[in-house]
Amino acid sequence: MNNIVELEKIKKTYLQGKVDIPAINNVSLSIKKGGFVAIAGPSGSGKTTLLNIIGGLDQPDSGTVRVDGEKFETLTPSRLAELRLFKIGFVFQAYNLIPVLSAAENVEFVMLLQGIPKKERLRKAHAILDDVGLSGKYNRRPAELSGGQQQRVAVARAIVSNPSIVLADEPTANLDSKTGQGLLELMKTMNKEKKVTFVFSTHDKMVMDYAGRLVRLRDGSIFDDQSK
Amino acid sequence: MYSQLAWRNIWRNPRRTIVIMTAVIIGVFSMIFLCGLMRGMEVEMIRNNLATLTGNIQIHQKGYRADPVVENSMTDPVLLENAIKTNLPEGAAWAMRVRVNAIVSNARHSTGVTFVGIDPAKEARVSFIGKAVTDGRYLNSDDTNKILIGRALLDKFKTKIGHKLIVMSQDADDEIASTAFRIVGTFRAEMESTEKAYVFVTLSDAQKMLKLKNGISEAAIAFKGQSIDGQKEKALAQKLKSRLPDSIYKVETWPELLPMMREYLSLFDNFIYIWYFVVFIAMGFGIVNTTLMAIFERMREFGLLKALGMKPVSIIRGVITESFFLLVSGIIIGNIAGIITVFLINRTGIDLSALAAGVEMWGMPRVIHPELWIIDVITANLVVLVLGLVVSIYPAAKAARFTPIEALEKT
**Percentage of residues in chain B with pLDDT exceeding 90?**
28
Instruction: State the smallest CA–CA distance between residue B17 and chain A in angstroms.
Output: 15
Residue B102 host element (H or E): strand B93-105
How far apart are alpha carbons A2 and B231 in whole angstroms?
80
Asked if A81's CB is within 8 angstroms of B310's CB, the reply is yes
Contacts of B166 (CB under 8 A, 6+ apart): B104, B105, B106, B178, B179, B180, B181
Mean of the per-residue pLDDT values for chain A? 86
Report domain A3-98+146-227's class. alpha beta
- Judge if B71 and B184 occupy the same domain: yes
Q: Is A17 helix (H, G, I), strand (E, B) or coil?
A: coil
Residue B248 lies in a domain: no
Domains in chain B: how many in total?
2
Asked if A109's CB is within 8 angstroms of B405's CB, the reply is no
Residue B244 lies in a domain: no
Chain A residues touching B405 at Cβ < 8 A: 52, 57-58
For B28, B293, B300, the CA distances from B297, given in Å and listed in that order, are 28, 6, 8
Instruction: State the smallest CA–CA distance between residue A96 and chain B in angstroms.
Output: 7
- Judge if B214 and B361 occupy the same domain: no
* Other beta carbons within 10 Å of B88: 16
B232-251 burial, b at 16+ Cβ within 10 Å, e below that, comes to bbeebbebbeeebeeeebbb
Q: Which amino acid does the sequence have at B38?
A: M
Comparison of pLDDT for A222 and A174, the residue scoring more: A222
What's the pLDDT score for residue B41?
Answer: 83
How would residue B359 be classed by pLDDT, with cut points 50, 70 and 90?
Answer: low
Q: What is the mean pLDDT of residues B161-180?
A: 91
What's the pLDDT score for residue B332?
Answer: 95
- Judge if B33 and B172 occupy the same domain: no
How far apart are alpha carbons A140 and A104 in whole angstroms?
8
Final residue of a structural domain among B222, B248, B271: B222
B9 touches chain A (CB under 8 A): yes
Residue B256 lies in a domain: no
Instruction: State the smallest CA–CA distance between residue B347 and chain A in angstroms.
Output: 46
Q: Which residues from A are below 8 Å from B when comparing CB atoms?
A: 52, 55, 57-58, 78, 81-86, 88, 90, 92, 96, 98-101, 105, 108-110, 112-113, 118, 157
The answer to whether the Cα torsion of B147, B152, B155, B161 is positive or negative is: positive
How far apart are alpha carbons B182 and B172 in whole angstroms?
23
A88-105 burial, b at 16+ Cβ within 10 Å, e below that, comes to bbbbbbbbbbbebbbbbb
How far apart are alpha carbons B410 and A172 in whole angstroms?
20
- Judge if B327 and B307 occupy the same domain: yes
What's the pLDDT score for residue B153?
Answer: 93
Instruction: State the smallest CA–CA distance between residue A37 and chain B in angstroms.
Output: 21
The angle formed by the CA atoms of residues B299, B301 and B304, to the nearest 5 degrees, is: 115
What's the pLDDT score for residue B136?
Answer: 92
Asked if B311's CB is within 8 angstroms of A90's CB, the reply is no
- Judge if B189 and B111 occupy the same domain: yes
Give Rg (Cα) of chain A: 17
- Judge if B188 and B316 occupy the same domain: no
- Judge if B37 and B147 occupy the same domain: no
Could you state, in order of their start, the residue ranges of all structural domains in chain A?
Answer: 3-98+146-227
- Judge if B286 and B376 occupy the same domain: yes
Chain A residues touching B10 at Cβ < 8 A: none
The yes-or-no verdict on residue B360 having pLDDT over 60 is no
Q: In which domain, by residue range, is B140 found?
A: 57-222
How far apart are alpha carbons A163 and A159 in whole angstroms?
6
For residue B221, give the nearest of B47, B56, B46 by alpha carbon.
B56
Q: For A182-217, how does the pLDDT look when each residue is reduced to its tens digit (9 = 90+)?
A: 778 878 888 888 788 999 888 888 888 888 899 998
Final residue of a structural domain among B222, B247, B275: B222
Q: For B303-337, how does the pLDDT look when each residue is reduced to its tens digit (9 = 90+)?
A: 888 888 888 888 899 889 988 999 999 999 999 99
How far apart are alpha carbons A5 and A67 in whole angstroms?
5
For residue B8, give the nearest of B282, B244, B239, B326 by alpha carbon.
B326
Residue B200 lies in a domain: yes
Final residue of a structural domain among B222, B254, B279: B222
Q: For B210-222, how does the pLDDT look when each residue is reduced to its tens digit (9 = 90+)?
A: 998 888 999 999 8
Of the listed ranges A36-40, B173-177, B349-353, the least confidently predicted one is B349-353
- Judge if B39 and B74 occupy the same domain: no
Of the listed ranges A92-96, B148-152, B257-261, B290-294, the least confidently predicted one is A92-96
**Percentage of residues in chain B with pLDDT exceeding 70?**
95
Mean of the per-residue pLDDT values for chain B? 86
Chain A residues touching B308 at Cβ < 8 A: 84-85, 90, 109-110, 113, 157
Q: What is the mean pLDDT of residues A6-34?
A: 86
- Judge if B43 and B63 occupy the same domain: no
What's the pLDDT score for residue B228?
Answer: 67
User: What's the ipTM?
Assistant: 0.82
- Judge if B111 and B138 occupy the same domain: yes
- Judge if B44 and B132 occupy the same domain: no
Q: For B75-110, how does the pLDDT look when each residue is reduced to its tens digit (9 = 90+)?
A: 888 888 888 888 888 888 999 999 999 999 988 899
